[in-house]
């Protein structure tokens, strides 16, 4: 029995892409929790040891190898800081946050160069602006998403990622250009639609549609270096984010499960990049939100031989 389950676990992790997504978007649902297959494998090892099953232990080498290949790198310690590195903080602050002031102070303590927030609503917006102003003199807010920066911001604009079925006024995307010491960076902040898990499976059509729209915008971005921050309501293994993960780099180290804050099961708060590596991502202490903040180190690609940013 242990051997059969072991082979099945290896298949789920290694071949999750062939799991059909209908009915109920089963494939996306499984992919949202893939790292937890490691816990199942660990339990199987205990069972095999208790039963003294040599065959079972040998069979378990397969899922262990597949899991390590898929997720082992995330367990590695953070690399040394790079010369061309930005620290990015991402947080869904919750529109029901009872302590926006405490949340803003917690984000300040992270020492990021950029801070991206979602579910920023009135009157909490004024609190964030007031507390973050000194350390982050540049900021832009569009709808319920905002970006605070230590460096100048220009070319701010709304990014339309509203699914067709959603009513006018739904606004959860922005794009701006940040003039960093390492050259211009196109910074996107997005909050994709929520998903629901019910008896019919995963309801994710609006999120997937919004991800495709955002992917099209990023694909046409003329600034070479891109950093996307946001509550994407999905893990990077979920095929629903393929329009983004197919063209942007994901975190190389760190699991950083961010949701729900009380018992984090998945990282749905993401930092993705183009012409840059997200070398490490970690969670920060809980705030008044139902999400944990995450902080990521983003290492930008080296300058061209001229020593100047590419045009």
pLDDT in tens, 80-89: 887 799 999 9
Domain count, the chain: 2
Note the pLDDT of residue 133: 97
Same domain, 41 and 110: no
Over the stretch 192-213, which tens digit does the pLDDT of each residue have? 999 987 766 788 999 999 999 9
pLDDT tens, position by position, 238-252: 999 999 999 999 999
Q: Is pLDDT above 90 for 152?
A: yes
Structure tokens that stand for 209 in this block? 């549609």
182 DSSP 8-state letter: T
Neighbours of 241 (CB within 10 A): 27
End of a domain among 75, 94, 114?
75
Which pLDDT belongs to residue 111?
Answer: 95
Residue 226, domain member (yes or no): yes
Q: Which of 256, 305, 307, 302 is nearest to 89 (CA)?
A: 256
In whole angstroms, give the CA distance from residue 182 to residue 178.
Answer: 10
Interior angle at CA 168, CA 200 and CA 210, nearest 5? 50
CA 268 to chain centre: 5
The answer to whether residues 128 and 156 belong to one domain is yes
User: Residues 265-293: what's their mean pLDDT?
Assistant: 98
On whether residue 309 sits in a domain, the answer given is no
Residue 180: strand pairing partners: 183
Average the pLDDT over 257-281 and give the result: 97
Q: Which of 57, 75, 93 is the last residue of a domain?
A: 75
Q: Is the pLDDT of residue 309 over 50?
A: no
Cβ atoms of 296 and 87 closer than 8 Å:
yes
Name which residue leads in pLDDT, 86 or 305: 86
Same domain? For 259 and 222 the reply is yes
Q: What is the pLDDT of residues 98-134, one digit of tens each?
A: 999 999 999 999 999 999 999 999 999 999 999 999 9
The answer to whether residue 263 scores a pLDDT higher than 60 is yes
Average pLDDT over residues 208-220: 98
Q: Within a 10 A sphere around the Cβ of 262, how many other Cβ atoms? A: 8
Q: Are residues 167 and 240 in the same domain?
A: yes
Q: Where are the beta strands (DSSP E) in 204-254?
A: 226-231
- Three-class secondary structure of residue 29 per DSSP: helix
- Cα–Cα dist 173/109, whole Å: 26
pTM: 0.92
Q: Express each pLDDT in 42-51 by its tens digit.
A: 999 999 999 8
Residue 183 lies in a domain: yes
Is residue 310 included in any domain, yes or no?
no
Domain of 45 in residue numbering reads as 2-75
Are both 219 and 275 inside the same structural domain? yes
Average pLDDT, the chain: 93
Question: Binning pLDDT at 50, 70 and 90, where does residue 6 land?
Answer: confident
pLDDT at residue 307 in the model: 46
Looking at 75, 106, 127, the residue that finishes a domain is 75
* Residue 27 included in any domain: yes
Same domain for 176 and 264, yes or no, is yes
**Spatial contact of 182 and 300, defined as CB atoms under 8 Å apart:** yes
């Amino acid at each position: 029995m242990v051997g059969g389950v072991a082979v099945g676990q290896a298949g789920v992790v290694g071949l999750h892409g062939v799991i059909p997504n209908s009915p109920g978007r089963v494939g996306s649902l499984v992919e949202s929790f893939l790292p937890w297959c490691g816990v199942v494998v660990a339990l199987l090892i205990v069972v095999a040891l208790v039963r003294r099953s040599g065959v079972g232990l040998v069979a378990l080498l397969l899922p262990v190898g597949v899991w390590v290949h898929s997720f082992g790198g995330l367990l590695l310690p953070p690399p040394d800081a790079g010369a061309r590195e930005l620290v990015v903080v991402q947080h869904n602050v919750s529109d029901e946050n009872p302590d926006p002031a405490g949340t803003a102070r917690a984000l300040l303590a992270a020492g990021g160069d950029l801070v991206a927030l979602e579910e920023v609503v009135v009157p909490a917006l004024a609190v964030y602006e007031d507390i973050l102003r000194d350390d982050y003199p540049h900021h832009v807010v569009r709808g319920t998403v905002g970006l605070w920066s230590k460096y100048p911001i220009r070319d701010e604009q709304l990014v339309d990622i509203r699914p067709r079925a959603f009513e006018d006024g739904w606004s959860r995307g922005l794009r701006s250009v940040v003039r960093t010491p390492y050259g211009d960076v196109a910074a996107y902040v997005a909050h994709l639609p929520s998903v629901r898990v019910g008896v019919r499976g995963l309801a994710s059509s609006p999120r997937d549609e919004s991800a495709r729209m955002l992917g099209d915008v990023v694909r046409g971005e003329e600034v070479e270096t891109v950093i996307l921050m946001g509550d994407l309501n999905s893990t990077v293994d979920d095929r629903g984010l393929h329009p983004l993960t197919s063209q942007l780099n994901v975190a190389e180290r760190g699991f950083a499960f961010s949701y729900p804050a009380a018992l984090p099961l998945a990282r749905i708060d993401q930092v993705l990049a183009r012409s840059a590596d997200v070398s490490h991502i970690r969670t920060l202490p809980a705030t008044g939100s139902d999400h944990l903040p995450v902080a990521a180190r983003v290492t930008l690609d080296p300058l061209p031989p001229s020593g100047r940013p590419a045009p």
